Amino acid sequence: MIIGLTGGIGSGKSTVARAFETLGAASVDADDVAREIVLPGEPALLAIKNRFGDQVIHQDGTLNRAALRAIIFKDPEQRRWLESVTHPKIRERLLQHLAQLKTQGAPYVLLVSPLLFESGQNALVNRAVVVDVPQALQLSRTQQRDGVSESQVHAILAAQLSREQRLAQADDVIDNSGDHRSMMEQVVRLDQRYRQLLND
Residues annotated within the binding site for ATP are 10-15
Q: Is 74 left (phi over 0), alpha (psi -120 to 50) or beta?
A: alpha
In the beta sheet, which residues pair with residue 129? 5, 172
Asked if residue 128 lies in contact with residue 171, where contact means CB atoms within 8 angstroms, the answer is yes
Residues 6+ apart with CB under 8 A from 81: 51
Give me the helices (H) in 103-179, please.
135-146, 150-159, 163-168
Which parts are annotated binding residues? 10-15
Q: In what order do the strands lie in the sheet containing 2-6?
A: 26-29, 109-112, 2-6, 127-132, 172-175
Question: What are the backbone angles phi and psi of residue 144, rounded to the nearest 5°?
Answer: -65, -45
Residue 5: which of 125, 112, 136 has the closest Cα?
Answer: 112
